[in-house]
Amino acid sequence: MGPVDWIGVVAAALAATAVLLTFRRRGSPLHIAGIFAAMLISSAMLGHALARIGPEKLAVKWWLYFMQSGGLAIAFVIPALWVSLTRHGVGKAVARDAGMWLLAYLAMGLAFYLV
C-alpha cells in the first residue's frame, strides 16, 4: 500500500465542491463549508482506496482513478440517492442529481490523477 496523497485529498474535495456548487448556485458560507467537509471525507476514503492500489499500478493504469471515483458514485451514492428521493416522492430529481454526483466524483478522480 502506498501513502495517501493528502494534497490530492484536498484537491479532490475542492474539485467536487466546485462541481456541486455549479448545480446549487445559492448557499451561505456555512452551507458551502458543509459541502466541502462532506467531500473531504469522501475524498479521504477515495485517497485511501487509491493508496491501496498503489502508485506503481496507478502510473500504468491511469483509468483506475476514474473507475474508483465513478464506481463509488454509481455503486453507492446514486443508489442511496435514488432510494431516498423516490421514498419521498421526488423521483423526477433523481436523474439530474445522479448526474451531478457522478460528475462530482469523476472530478475527484481527475484531481487525484492530476496531482
Residue 61: its pLDDT value, please? 96
Task: Return the pLDDT at 19.
Answer: 95
Which ranges of the chain have pLDDT less than 50? none
pLDDT of residue 24: 79
What does pLDDT average to over the chain?
91
Q: Which three cell numbers stand for residue 95?
A: 436523474
Q: Contact at 8 Å (CB) between 115 and 4?
A: no
Are 31 and 68 spatial neighbours (Cβ–Cβ below 8 Å)? no
Would the CA dihedral through 41, 46, 51, 55 be positive or negative?
negative
**pLDDT of res. 84:** 83
